Amino acid sequence: MPTFDRATLEALVASVLIASRIEPAIAATVARALVQAEIDGQKGHGLSRVQSYAAQARSGKVDGSATPQWQQTRAGTAMVDVRGGFAYPAFERALAELPKLAEAAGIAAAGFVRSHHAGVLGWHMERLAEQGLIGLAFANTPQAMTAWGGSKGVFGTNPIAFACPRSAGPPLVIDLALSLVARGKIQTAAQMGEAIPADWAFDASGQPTTDAKAAMAGTLAPAGGAKGAVLALMVELLAAAVTGANFAGEASSFFEGEGEPPGVGQLFIAISPDAFAGRARVFERIETLAAAIEGGGGARLPGTRRIERRAEVERSGIAVEDAVVAELRRLAAG
């Protein structure tokens, strides 16, 4: 497989997006997020998304020139109208503004409406943690799971993410979808013609399946059974009801080029340690727990593999399958 440095791969992805009628500055922001996902091993949110993003921009399902509208609603809160565009430019605005609001109010939150795919939710929270804040995020997605005991998809995979700063290492990051696996992993398997484990998903008739394409037409199994399903309900309410966004069952697909904009929502929360026990005490408590976990007979802190992967990329570059490179170059050529 050919290898790329980050800048070269971002430029290639951006060229595909620009060829699909996405404004250059927006294309660069989207490309950065997709390449970061690829680096961190989250391929379901990485290069596998380029083709569908491009198709949605070409059809007008996503507005490739939309500028997010920021409105501060209270001392520590804001609403961001993504205006049917890509979510990443709106997130960039929030990540610049939330630290200021959190410093003043102790806790700050931004809700996003008329939004799109959030990508790797933990990466956005990680960047809050790099600024000394604790970050918590909720995102709803188009329907992918049923309520427990049901047969119709009413929840998305509905990821949640958390990040906190550390005094003795990079931020601790937790990022998980509330389905047993993220739908992006199944999409990647479908694109590669690979089978999936039988406990990942159900086909359209509600039967377990190992066929990734059949799973894409069906529903996903929730993580933790009934507990995962009610957590998905919680996220649906926080990310969509609180922000006024579409529920999962009202949102169009993130993968298909045609149709109405998905119009999903997200909620980001930033917490200043100084507003509670104080930065020194909070950091001491975090490191005490981190040491207990890492000293527990081989346990690792969540998210540590991303640090290893980033170091490997710095040494060796980003390996990309030949077929993926060829497709990117074809799309970039228009």
Average of pLDDT values for 182-207?
A: 87
Report pLDDT digits (tens) over 219-253: 898 998 899 999 999 999 999 999 999 999 999 99
**Would you say how long the chain is, in residues?**
334
> Beta strand 69-74 with 3-4: parallel, antiparallel or unpaired?
unpaired
- Residues 107-145 have pLDDT tens digits of 999 999 999 999 999 999 999 999 999 999 999 999 999
User: How large is the average pLDDT for residues 185-206?
Assistant: 89
- The pTM score is 0.93
pLDDT of residue 187: 82
Topology of the domain comprising 1-59+305-334? Hypothetical Oxidoreductase Yiak; Chain: A, domain 1 (1.10.1530)
DSSP lists the bridge partners of residue 172 as: 164
* Dihedral sign (CA 58, 61, 64, 65): positive
Domain ranges of the chain: 1-59+305-334, 71-179+222-302
Please report which residue ranges of 87-210 form alpha helices under DSSP H: 87-105, 121-129, 183-192
Integer Cα distance of 248 and 297 in angstroms: 41
pLDDT 10s digits, 28-47: 999 999 999 999 999 989 99
**DSSP per residue, 8-60:** HHHHHHHHHHHHTT--HHHHHHHHHHHHHHHHTT-GGGTGGGHHHHHHHHHHT
How many percent of the chain have pLDDT more than 70?
A: 100
The count of C-alpha atoms lying within 13 angstroms of the C-alpha of 15, restricted to the half-sphere facing its C-beta, is: 15
Is residue 262 within 8 Å of 140, Cβ to Cβ?
Answer: no
What residues contact residue 25 under an 8 Å CB cut-off, 6+ apart? none
> Is pLDDT above 90 for 27?
yes
Given this model, what pLDDT does residue 297 score? Answer: 80
- DSSP letter string, 228-269: HHHHHHHHHIIIIITTT---GGGSPPSS-SSSS---EEEEEE
Token pair recorded at residue 43? 């391929």
pLDDT tens for each residue of 56-102: 999 999 999 999 999 999 999 999 999 999 999 999 999 999 999 99
Residue 206: band (very low, low, confident or very high) from pLDDT cuts 50, 70, 90: confident
The correct CATH number of 71-179+222-302 out of 2.40.50.180, 3.30.1370.60, 3.30.420.40, 3.30.2130.10 is 3.30.1370.60
The pLDDT value recorded for residue 208 is: 87
Q: What is the pLDDT of residue 225?
A: 87
User: pLDDT of 264-310, one tens digit each?
Assistant: 999 999 999 999 999 999 999 999 999 999 987 889 999 889 999 99
Reduced to 3 states, what is the DSSP secondary structure of residue 145? strand
Q: Is 195 exposed, middle or buried (0-12, 13-18, 19+ CB in 10 A)?
A: exposed
